[in-house]
């Protein structure tokens, strides 16, 4: 009971985590998701303990998990060399620890083949939740913030609306849909039973439809590349069998046949004979990625057929009457034929509901459109099943011709039936590519300032305003790999590459076709900020484990292979005994290990076990510490939310708000937002101390520097106000609000100082206002404006600067040159360095 019930619970856990994280805005880390992180760590650790206590002992290779923990450690180590933000580095440490914990649970429970179907079910369920939920939002059936992006800018959308899904970002949703589309196709191609084919194909059209509605050209391109890779990697031949038994003299089921096959595979046929208690065991070999057992005559012995199904083995002795029907179909042929049918169904469904996006915001589908869409989806499933039946009953010579013809028909239908107004998305609107080129250029400039070790978590978001050459809006660098390079430097990027290579190598050696959906996600992340979504990493881990086969190693050093076999037996006559002929279900695994390990391999296994005895406790302690830190940061978020909802009279509400913010500050003193909000309620002396102390954790934080400048201006500290405001403008020179406010504030401060008789301070303030405006005006002529962000001198700043000039004419200029007259530093060339 445990062997079924516990894996089902773990599959529900995996489906809940994936679906919940997708629904929670994809865990985009512009918002704090500490609760999800520590819950994932705690749940995964409990899952590992449950497997240890109640499931058969199995040694799993947790090398990928240790790799993710090393990345988490690298983020923690950035605290030793002036990170851009202490909090961001700690956040990344917790996140990568959560990814490692989730991966460990998935490997422990689902890497064995007999439990792989549970993970497939979890991925399938969560995928349908994301895709169908997005379609429901497009059709107005559910309400979710920004599930559909509406715009009048033809450069962003040809239809006027783009499907964004629960992640609220069309490009990332497109990548997820593309990965799932190819994953569904792989499952459909490999399905040997009509029911499993119907289930797998049910997700194909929704995934294709979501991919088209996102209008993500990058997602379209990587999906096409993935499809071509799938055409190559899916390869091999599929064998389908119908096995019927009428009578049998004996059958030995269970562990005996499994042990016999392991011995046969090692070449020890005598031991196999002893295990089975019969003579004439034929030599057998394990082949293919499904572990199909092939029994043949060997050493001149009459054969006895051996059929192995799953983890059980059944010995079928002489005298069994069987019939076998076998059909061999090339997987590439099936891939082509199914793809053609998918294109036909997708374009019809797209034409049906794309018009909803042209009706404006909050548009709803009609009942007729909903019924027709459901009918199309049902018909597509029936079509896949019908194509399978056609392949089984068609002459082999005609299959290839039919498959290519079907693909061409699908392509022709797709091109001809695609609405003409969607063509604009392919033919124009590539200005965003130019904006990303600016991002990458500026990212390279920022990278050069810390090329080896990086600047810690979220370096781009914290520092990009210091190096941006044009006034674009770009809190994300639009490349996950550049983000890693900025955070961890070349050393960290190299470690990430090694960890990724080790993981992908395991997938390549197990099931190469798994690289198709994985590759879609990895490729798209190169040109977008998918890696900023926690859901991206969790889904990637799910796909990796789904295609990464583990083999247990027992104490004797013999590999216990998971035998998932469909055998076919054909009698050639009772007097000749039985000759077993079992067709290979999938092609032979490249570089398959030997069943019996040599002395060197045994020694390596012993070393691995020794390191594992050290690594597992250390990893457990690390994950526990990360979970505790996540709980602490989560409490800070709860306290801050309580502060924002404080009620009562003005005085009592202020007291409650201050108490809640102080509790939040005590739980997370690295959070700049809490520090600034608390400082606003604190008396001036304490306010200055609070704000200044925050610079230890974020030394180049524009909000902190600006708050310090405003506080200095309130206290009539002209030098302090000019100093902090100048630094804030230096670190964010394309902020219209700050540029304007700096000129206005210093101009007002100059007038106040003159009225108070402090002429030297008045001159200093007026001179600062004029110098701020001069730099502001110079930047206006250099700025081109990107992503619809315009940069121009405001009327308020122009008026304030003129008042300061008049004041200087009346009271005279400063005596001597002030260091505050230095112009705002520009980062338009490579010689600039960050302070």
pLDDT at 92: 96
pLDDT at 647: 73
Neighbours of 462 (CB within 10 A): 23
pLDDT of residue 559 exceeding 80, the answer is no
* Domain residue ranges in the chain: 145-236+331-424, 249-318+554-597, 629-821
Residue whose pair of structure tokens reads 């998971």 in the numeric block: 562
pLDDT at 280: 38
User: What are the DSSP E strand ranges found in 300-387?
Assistant: 306-309, 312-316, 321-330
pLDDT at 789: 61
User: What are the DSSP E strand ranges found in 71-193?
Assistant: 148-150, 161-163
pLDDT class of 268 with cuts at 50, 70, 90: very low
pLDDT of residue 461 exceeding 60, the answer is yes
Which of 361-375, 541-555, 737-751 bottoms out in mean pLDDT, i.e. has the lowest?
541-555
pLDDT of residue 318 exceeding 60, the answer is no
Round to whole Å and give the CA distance between 527 and 687.
42
Sign of dihedral through CA atoms 27, 29, 30, 36? Answer: positive
Mean pLDDT of 97-116: 93
CA torsion, ordered 309, 312, 318, 321, to nearest 10 deg = -40
**Per-residue pLDDT reduced to its tens digit, 745-788:** 999 999 999 999 899 999 999 999 999 999 998 887 776 655 55
Round to whole Å and give the CA distance between 693 and 707.
12
Round to whole Å and give the CA distance between 513 and 590.
13
Round to whole Å and give the CA distance between 419 and 436.
29
The answer to whether 64 touches 501, Cβ cutoff 8 Å, is no
Which of 219-228, 462-471, 787-796 bottoms out in mean pLDDT, i.e. has the lowest?
787-796
Residue whose pair of structure tokens reads 């993981």 in the numeric block: 503
pLDDT at 605: 63
pLDDT of residue 721 exceeding 90, the answer is yes
Q: What residues contact 134, with CB distance under 8 A and at least 6 apart?
A: 147, 163, 164, 165, 166, 173, 177, 210, 213
pLDDT of residue 322 exceeding 50, the answer is no
Round to whole Å and give the CA distance between 727 and 711.
15
Mean pLDDT of 79-107: 95
pLDDT at 114: 85
> End-to-end CA distance of the chain, in Å?
63
pLDDT of residue 433 exceeding 80, the answer is no
Q: How far is CA 56 from CA 44, 50, 52, 108, 552, in A?
A: 18, 11, 8, 11, 11
pLDDT at 323: 41
CA torsion, ordered 84, 89, 90, 91, to nearest 10 deg = 110
Q: What residues contact 272, with CB distance under 8 A and at least 6 apart?
A: 260, 261, 263, 264, 281
pLDDT class of 316 with cuts at 50, 70, 90: very low
Phi, psi of 254 (to 5 degrees): 100, -145
Percent of the chain at pLDDT > 70 equals 76
pLDDT at 69: 96
Mean pLDDT of 27-55: 90
Round to whole Å and give the CA distance between 813 and 752.
17
Neighbours of 648 (CB within 10 A): 11
CA-nearest of 620, 582, 519, 651 to 303 is 582
pLDDT at 308: 35
pLDDT of residue 393 exceeding 50, the answer is yes
Strands 321-330 and 237-247 come out as: antiparallel
pLDDT at 331: 87
CA-nearest of 58, 110, 15, 86 to 455 is 86
Longest dimension (CA), the chain: 123
pLDDT of residue 530 exceeding 70, the answer is yes
More confident residue, 283 or 623: 623
Mean pLDDT of 222-245: 72
What is the strand order of the sheet 312-316 is part of? 251-254, 312-316, 306-309
Mean pLDDT of 8-35: 92
pLDDT class of 206 with cuts at 50, 70, 90: very high
Mean pLDDT of 89-114: 94
3 state DSSP class of 268? coil
pLDDT at 812: 78
Report pTM: 0.83
| 709 membership: H or E segment, kind and range | helix 702-714
pLDDT of residue 165 exceeding 90, the answer is yes
| 184 membership: H or E segment, kind and range | helix 170-189
More confident residue, 509 or 821: 509
**Per-residue pLDDT reduced to its tens digit, 483-492:** 999 999 999 9
pLDDT class of 692 with cuts at 50, 70, 90: very high
One DSSP character per residue, 766-832 reads HHHHHHHHHHHHHHHHH----TT------HHHHHHHHHHHHHHHHH---SS--GGGSPPP--SSTT-
3 state DSSP class of 313? strand
Q: How far is CA 143 from CA 166, 361, 362, 542, in A?
A: 10, 12, 9, 28
Round to whole Å and give the CA distance between 469 and 475.
14
Q: Which residues of 408-434 are buried (b: 16+ CB within 10 A; e: fewer)?
A: eebeebbeeebeeebeebeeebeebee
Percent of the chain at pLDDT > 90 equals 56
Round to whole Å and give the CA distance between 211 and 231.
19
**Per-residue pLDDT reduced to its tens digit, 574-584:** 333 333 333 33
pLDDT of residue 361 exceeding 90, the answer is no
More confident residue, 457 or 397: 457
One DSSP character per residue, 667-694 reads H-TT-HHHHHHHHHHS-HHHHHHHHHHH
User: What are the DSSP E strand ranges found in 135-262?
Assistant: 148-150, 161-163, 237-247, 251-254
pLDDT of residue 278 exceeding 50, the answer is no
DSSP letter at 301? P
pLDDT at 599: 65
pLDDT of residue 130 exceeding 60, the answer is yes
Residue whose pair of structure tokens reads 């029994």 in the numeric block: 295
Mean pLDDT of 202-212: 96
Q: What residues contact 689, with CB distance under 8 A and at least 6 apart?
A: none
Mean pLDDT of 623-627: 97
pLDDT at 452: 93
3 state DSSP class of 420? helix
The answer to whether 268 touches 597, Cβ cutoff 8 Å, is no
pLDDT of residue 519 exceeding 90, the answer is yes
pLDDT of residue 558 exceeding 70, the answer is no
Sign of dihedral through CA atoms 363, 366, 370, 376? Answer: negative
Round to whole Å and give the CA distance between 236 and 259.
28
pLDDT at 653: 84
Mean pLDDT of 598-612: 66
pLDDT of residue 241 exceeding 50, the answer is no
More confident residue, 80 or 309: 80
Q: Which fold has domain 629-821?
A: 1.25.40
Mean pLDDT of 59-85: 92
pLDDT at 151: 86
Q: What residues contact 77, with CB distance under 8 A and at least 6 apart?
A: none
CA-nearest of 497, 485, 498 to 456 is 485
Q: Can you name the residues that pair with 245 across neighbouring β-strands?
A: 322
Residue whose pair of structure tokens reads 């007026």 in the numeric block: 766
Strands 312-316 and 292-295 come out as: unpaired
């Amino acid at each position: 009971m445990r062997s079924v019930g516990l894996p089902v619970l773990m599959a529900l856990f995996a489906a809940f985590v994936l679906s919940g994280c997708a629904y929670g805005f994809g865990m985009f880390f512009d918002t704090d998701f500490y609760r999800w992180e520590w819950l994932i760590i705690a749940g995964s650790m409990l899952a590992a303990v449950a497997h240890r206590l109640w499931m058969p002992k199995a040694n799993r290779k947790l090398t990928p998990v240790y790799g993710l923990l090393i990345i988490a450690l690298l983020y923690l180590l950035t605290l030793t060399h002036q990170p851009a933000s202490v909090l961001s580095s700690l956040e990344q440490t917790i996140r990568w620890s959560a990814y490692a914990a989730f991966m460990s649970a998935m490997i422990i429970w689902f890497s064995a083949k007999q439990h792989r179907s549970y993970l497939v079910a979890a991925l399938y369920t969560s995928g349908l939740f994301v895709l169908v939920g997005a379609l429901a939002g497009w059709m107005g059936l559910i309400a979710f913030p920004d599930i559909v992006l509406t715009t009048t800018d033809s450069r962003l959308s040809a239809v006027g609306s783009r499907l964004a899904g629960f992640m609220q970002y069309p490009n990332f949703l497109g990548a997820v849909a593309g990965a799932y589309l190819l994953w569904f196709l792989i499952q459909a191609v490999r399905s040997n039973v009509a029911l499993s084919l119907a289930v797998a194909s049910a997700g194909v059209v929704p995934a294709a439809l979501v991919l088209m509605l996102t209008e993500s050209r990058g997602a379209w391109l990587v999906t096409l590349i993935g499809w071509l890779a799938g055409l190559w990697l899916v390869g091999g031949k599929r064998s389908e069998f119908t096995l019927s038994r009428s009578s049998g003299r004996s059958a030995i089921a269970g562990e005996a046949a499994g042990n016999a096959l392991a011995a046969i595979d090692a070449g020890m046929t005598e031991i196999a004979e002893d295990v089975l208690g019969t003579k004439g065991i034929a030599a057998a070999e394990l082949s293919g990625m499904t572990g199909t057992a092939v029994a043949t005559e060997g050493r001149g012995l009459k054969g006895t057929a051996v059929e192995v199904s799953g983890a059980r083995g059944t010995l079928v002795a002489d005298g069994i009457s069987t019939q076998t029907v076998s059909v061999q179909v090339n997987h590439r042929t099936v891939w082509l034929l199914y793809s053609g049918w998918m294109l036909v169904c997708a374009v019809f469904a797209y034409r049906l509901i794309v018009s909803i996006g042209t009706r404006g915001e909050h548009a709803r589908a009609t009942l007729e459109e909903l019924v027709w869409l459901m009918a199309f989806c049902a018909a597509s499933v029936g079509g896949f099943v019908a194509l399978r039946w056609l392949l089984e009953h068609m002459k082999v010579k005609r299959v290839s011709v039919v498959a290519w013809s079907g693909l061409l028909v699908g392509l022709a239908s797709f091109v001809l039936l695609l609405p003409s107004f969607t063509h604009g998305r392919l033919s124009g609107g590539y200005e965003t590519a130019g904006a990303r080129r600016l991002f990458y250029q500026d990212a390279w400039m920022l990278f050069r300032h810390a090329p080896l070790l990086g600047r810690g978590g979220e370096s781009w978001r914290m520092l990009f305003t210091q190096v941006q050459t044009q006034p674009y809006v770009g809190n994300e660098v639009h490349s996950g790999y550049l983000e890693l390079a900025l955070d961890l430097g070349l050393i960290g990027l190299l470690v990430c590459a090694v960890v990724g290579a080790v993981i992908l190598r395991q997938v390549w050696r197990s099931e190469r076709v798994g690289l198709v959906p994985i590759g879609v996600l990895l490729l798209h992340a190169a040109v977008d900020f998918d890696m900023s979504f926690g859901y991206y990493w969790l889904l990637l881990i799910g796909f990796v484990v789904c295609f990464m086969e583990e083999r247990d190693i027992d104490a004797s050093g013999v590999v216990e292979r998971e035998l998932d076999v469909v055998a076919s037996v054909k009698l050639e006559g009772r007097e000749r005994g039985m000759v077993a002929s079992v067709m290979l279900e999938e092609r032979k695994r490249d570089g398959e290990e030997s069943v019996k390990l040599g002395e060197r391999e045994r020694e390596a296994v012993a070393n691995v076990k020794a390191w594992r005895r050290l690594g597992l406790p250390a990893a457990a302690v690390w994950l526990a510490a990360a979970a505790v830190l996540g709980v602490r940061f989560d409490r800070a978020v709860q306290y801050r939310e309580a502060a924002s909802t404080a009620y009562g009279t003005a005085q009592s509400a202020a007291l409650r708000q201050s108490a809640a913010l102080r509790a939040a500050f005590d739980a997370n003193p690295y959070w700049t937002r809490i520090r600034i909000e608390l400082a606003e309620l604190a008396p001036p002396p304490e306010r200055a101390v609070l704000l200044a102390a925050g610079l230890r954790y974020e030394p180049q934080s524009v909000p902190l520097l600006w708050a310090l400048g405003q506080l200095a201006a309130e206290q009539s500290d002209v030098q302090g106000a000019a100093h902090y405001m100048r630094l804030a403008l230096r670190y964010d020179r394309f902020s219209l609000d700050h540029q304007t406010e700096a000129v206005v504030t210093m101009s007002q401060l100059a007038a106040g100082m003159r009225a108070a008789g402090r002429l030297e301070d008045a001159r200093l303030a007026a001179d600062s206002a004029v110098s701020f405006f001069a730099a502001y005006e110079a930047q206006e002529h250099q700025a081109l404006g990107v992503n619809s962000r315009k940069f121009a001198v405001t009327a308020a700043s122009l008026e304030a600067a003129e008042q300061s000039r008049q004041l200087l004419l009346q009271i005279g200029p400063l005596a001597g040159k002030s260091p505050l007259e230095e112009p705002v530093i520009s980062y338009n060339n490579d010689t600039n360095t960050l302070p």
